[in-house]
Chains A and B, each alone.
Chain A
Amino acid sequence: MNEHVLQTNGLTKKFKHSFALDKVDMSIRKGSIYGFIGQNGAGKSTLIRIVTGLAFPSGGTVELFGQSSQRELVATRKRIGSIIEGPALFPNMTAVDNLEAHRLMRGIPGKDCVARTLRFVGLQDTGKKTAKNFSLGMKQRLGLAIALLGDPEFLILDEPTNGLDPMGVVEMRELLKKLNRERGITILISSHILSELHLLATHYGIIHHGQLLEQLTTKELNDKCQQYLHIKVNDPGRAATVIENKLGTTEYEVVSSGIMKLYKHLDQPGKVSTLLASEGLVIEEFMPMGEDLESFFTKRIGGVRHG
């Protein structure tokens, strides 16, 4: 039995003078929540569009549920629900009519799934209100309801939290966790809100300039997220000189307004603070910290290490 819901092999998308995707080998395990991370234009949406059949690859293959021929891929997409670059709604239709149009299109028998799905996303009481009059959060939930019609095994969500308020983001996260936990739905989610993704994903893929730089699990990410000493001093320039000359390391960075991250001598915080104080520096903040997903991502795509 194939444990992977999606696998791409050497997936390439070439435009005239550039590669949107460059030999991407991605694999998503069944039951996982795969956080897809990348800057704007990194290739996230291109990959998602190819997987969902909206765009065509210049090279490489896509395998969905173990199927890779064109005919099989089309049929296999019935097992996928997706929101791509925002919810796709008929603005002049009610929530019920929106779902009914999609239910008919997908050939899902029985109308009861419409009411059930609307209840699941909390839109059962919208009555005759048309989708164009929905709030952004309601539109996103309706988009999710459409994606969930027909009980898909694989959800592909491209920026599903775009424009949502903080409560909406939390609601969406809880909804997705519930779907993954209770229905075993595999989820591919791309988002710019990395902190949010960190609370949701079980696996990550980092894409940059069309290349998949790394795929890792949450545990691997946590292991890789570098620990450092967070130091805030009155004169970071002089502190940098002291660190380089007296501690003999360049493994540090100055991030903002006097805050430094020192990646060495983590087991000797006393020595570091004493040294800085003895050089007449005023230490305002000093504590051991770990990198978050955002820092890891920034560094992985080639962010500046030295201040």
Chain B
Amino acid sequence: MDNLIQSELFKLRKNRSFWTLIFIIMGLAAAFVVLSYIDSRMDQEAEVKGIDYFMNTIIGNNYMIKFSLPILAGFFIASEYSTGVMKTIASSGNSRLRIYMAKLFVLSFGGIVISLVLPFTLLTIGTLLSGFGELPDGSSLAYVLRVTGLTFLYAIAFASIVAVFSTIFAESGKTIGMGLVFFMFIDTILFLLGNFAPFVRTIDDNMVFKLSQEIDALNMDNGMLFKLIAVPVITYIVLGSLGAWIYTKKEIK
């Protein structure tokens, strides 16, 4: 499967939408920190430290990941159906399962890279301008590592969802549109359904959509940490298997 992953990585490196997303997020983050810094200097307020930017952006970053991934999946995977490249890939003598897994792994890698851009641009530029800062309990590095690790996991879980969309819709426009709509409304829909059916509330409480909003907690017991790790991993395995199954059964037009 090495060859397939190498090929997908090569394509990701050459993918314009991937780089455009990175530069847009990076540019917005840099502009935000610089403007905040200038503002705080002019108003003679306490400067916001790098770690504060990092902490305050984790949940917002989730939305950035959710909205970037459908775009990446649309241009990186689904567009291959319309250009006909998917036909060449599927008939290349590699098994469908391996082809799908290679695409999912590299899409996940792309998701991880995108998930890092916003918090680390804020952290880096914030630190350069105002210093790193410190958290109350003094465990900044451990916190950064834990949140970063969890961000990775939720990014790949979301990637496995949009990979299924791209396989079903096989068209970049539909993948992007449906992906954005899905991530925009899934929380609200599950919340509303939970009001009528308690089991939906239980499901919602244990799905990646809601749990992704809890990864920035400063203090967390082992049970919660285990849940925050296990749910995206299980989501990745289940959705990855589902996507692979759909792809192996799919007739490529």
Contact = CB atoms under 8 A, between A and B. Distances in A.
Contacts of B84: 84-89
Interface string A230-270: 00000000000000000000000000000000000000000
Given A52-B91, A53-B91, A91 B83 contact: yes
Interface string B1-22: 0111011001100101000000
B10 A102 contact: no
B251 interface: yes
Contacts of B95: 74
Interface string A25-42: 000000000000000000
Interface string A90-131: 111100010011101111000000000000000000000000
Interface in A9-53: 49, 52-53
Given A101-B7, A104-B7, A77 B14 contact: no
A78 interface: yes
B88 A82 contact: yes
A89 B83 contact: yes
A107 B3 contact: yes
B15 to A, nearest CB: 8
B87 A90 contact: no
B87 A88 contact: yes
Contacts of A162: none
Contact of A90 (B85, B93, B94, B251): B85
Contact of B85 (A53, A55, A89, A100): A89
Contact of B93 (A49, A80, A84): A80
Contacts of A79: 93
A107 B89 CA distance: 12
A106 B6 CA distance: 10
A106 B90 CA distance: 11
A49 B87 CA distance: 9
A52 B87 contact: yes
Contacts of B92: 77-78, 102, 105-106
A84 B92 CA distance: 12
Contacts of A89: 83-85
Choose among B7, B91, B253 the residue with the greatest number of A CB atoms under 10 Å from its CB.
Answer: B91
A86 B82 CA distance: 11
Contacts of A87: 84
B16 A92 contact: yes
A32 B81 CA distance: 31
* Range of interface residues on A (Cβ < 8 Å): 20 to 34
B193 interface: no
Interface in B78-119: 83-95
B83 A100 contact: no
B252 interface: yes
Contacts of A77: 91-93
A88 B85 CA distance: 5
A234 B14 CA distance: 67
A146 interface: yes
A106 B2 CA distance: 10
Between B85, B88, B94, the greatest number of chain A beta carbons within 10 A of the residue's beta carbon is seen for B88
Given A74-B95, A101-B7, A106-B3, A92 B14 contact: yes
Contact of B87 (A74, A84, A93): A84
A54 B85 CA distance: 12
A55 B4 CA distance: 21
Contacts of A85: 84, 87
Nearest to B84: A88
Contact of A74 (B3, B6, B93): B93
A74 B90 CA distance: 9
A202 interface: no
A76 interface: yes
Nearest to A56: B251
A249 to B, nearest CB: 49
A80 B83 CA distance: 20
A103 B89 CA distance: 11
B93 A106 contact: yes
B251 to A, nearest CB: 5
A75 interface: yes
A105 B87 contact: no
Chain A CB within 10 Å, residue with most, of B14, B85, B92, B251: B92
A55 B89 CA distance: 13
Given A92-B16, A105-B7, 20 more contacts: A49-B251, A54-B90, A54-B251, A55-B251, A74-B95, A75-B93, A77-B91, A78-B92, A78-B93, A82-B88, A84-B84, A84-B91, A88-B87, A92-B14, A104-B3, A104-B10, A105-B4, A106-B3, A107-B2, A146-B88
* Ranked 9 nearest A-B pairs via Cβ: A78-B93, A107-B3, A88-B84, A52-B91, A104-B7, A105-B7, A77-B93, A88-B88, A54-B252
Interface of A: 49, 52-56, 74-80, 82, 84-93, 97, 100-102, 104-107, 146
